[in-house]
Structure 1
Amino acid sequence: MLTVGDKFPAFNLTAVTGPDHNKHFASVTNESYKGKWLVVFFWPKDFTFVCPTEIVGYGSLEGDFKDRDAVLIGASTDTDFVHAAWRTHHADLNPLTFPWLADEKRELSTELGILDKNAGVALRATFIVDPEGIIRHVQVNDLSVGRNPQEALRILDALQTDELCPCNWQKGENTLVA
């Protein structure tokens, strides 16, 4: 699995930003967000139970990520059409606007090393990538356990200070002096 200090892999995938194939589908590459912080989170499958709770949780913070010059990107191994159908038929997902990558060939998931060996789907993995494309944070959960999007935001805040941040540090608090 790729980890902190590794370069986030190059990718070229279809992103879905809404339910309408004519308006909300676009090709996205790692170059699409060059110079930006990325918060990329993977979920195992669309039309499941834990996944929408995480997606809605991250989506509720999209403005906070934007305020920090970070792009929020979701991804799974489902197709773009499955993403669009789920967004259409799930009231909580329909209004979300951040891109969902369709890694249907499992190329990005494989390169990142986050495919579940038994289920063949992406684990619940979160990557925070700096503007130079270097992975600065990785979190991977079991398929059955959801993440805390607020923690991803807190870690992004800490990384952006480029200083020593103690346990449970929150934006606006003092950092450590060595």
Structure 2
Amino acid sequence: MSLINTEIKPFQAKAFKNGQFIDVSDADLRGGWSVVFFYPADFTFVCPTELEDLAETYGEFQALGVEIYSVSTDTHFCHKAWHDSSPAIKKIRYPMIGDPTGAISRNFEVMIEEAGLADRGTFVIDPAGRIQIVEITAGGIGRDARELLRKVKAAQYVASHPGEVCPAKWKEGDKTLAPSLDLVGKI
């Protein structure tokens, strides 16, 4: 069963953000747009490149009213240690959620039970707490923050323009489509 258009499940967790430990719950993901970005583990190889990429585009996400939440099955203490030791991770200003029990990873159906780690899962959540985008990639395949930013803009556009859809490669300012009988077979 797809998680698209489903409501996020309740959770409570600790996160590391800007030198402090904070509490984060599903309530924080409501009322605005959110990206929940799961990755397998701290102190690894592909993960820091992805998280740094998000850190470098974080201001652009925030300008759209989007909060980023990275999540791994590490603890919030481990996130702090990684932040303190890695030049790439030092750039992060968004919350780094610890999920040592795997509860959040299970809620989003990305838990790799036999490994105790999360898959590389990306979820875009609308202000009502409903999942609008799901992307899962294999462990060795890094994600691109620019492409995620494009998808978030498309999701926001579609949400604020009922009756319109964004075609492939749509970028902000490009033409959209208004599905109708007149378009059938003409695209």
Aligned to 1:17: 17
Shift of 1:34: 2.8
Give the one of 118, 121, 131 matched to 2:114.
118
Q: How does 1:51-90 map to 2 (within 5 A)?
A: 51-90=47-86
TM-score w.r.t. length of structure 2: 0.89
Aligned to 2:155: 159
What secondary structure is seen at the aligned counterpart in 1 of 2:175?
coil
Shift of 1:119: 1.9
Contact 2:33–2:127 at 8 Å: present in 1 too? Answer: yes
Question: Structure 1 counterpart of 2:16, which letter?
Answer: V
Report which stretch shifted further, 80-89 or 109-118.
Answer: 109-118
Identify, as 1 or 2, the structure richer in helix: 2
The runs of at least 4 aligned residues of structure 1 exceeding 6 Å deviation read none
Contact 1:158–1:169 at 8 Å: present in 2 too? Answer: yes
Shift of 1:117: 4.0
Q: How many residues matched?
A: 174
Matched, 1:135 2:131: yes
Shift of 1:153: 0.8
Structure 2, gaps ≥5 residues long: 159-163, 180-187
Question: Structure 2 counterpart of 1:59, which letter?
Answer: A
% identical equivalent positions: 34
The structure that has the greater radius of gyration is: 2
What secondary structure is seen at the aligned counterpart in 1 of 2:100?
coil
Report 1 or 2 for greater relative contact order, CA contacts < 8 Å, sequence distance ≥ 6. 1
Contact 2:123–2:134 at 8 Å: present in 1 too? Answer: yes
TM-score w.r.t. length of structure 1: 0.93
Give the one of 87, 93, 96 matched to 2:92.
96
Name the CA distance, whole Å, in 2 between partners of 1:33 and 1:167.
Answer: 27
Aligned to 1:38: 34
Question: Structure 2 counterpart of 1:16, which letter?
Answer: F
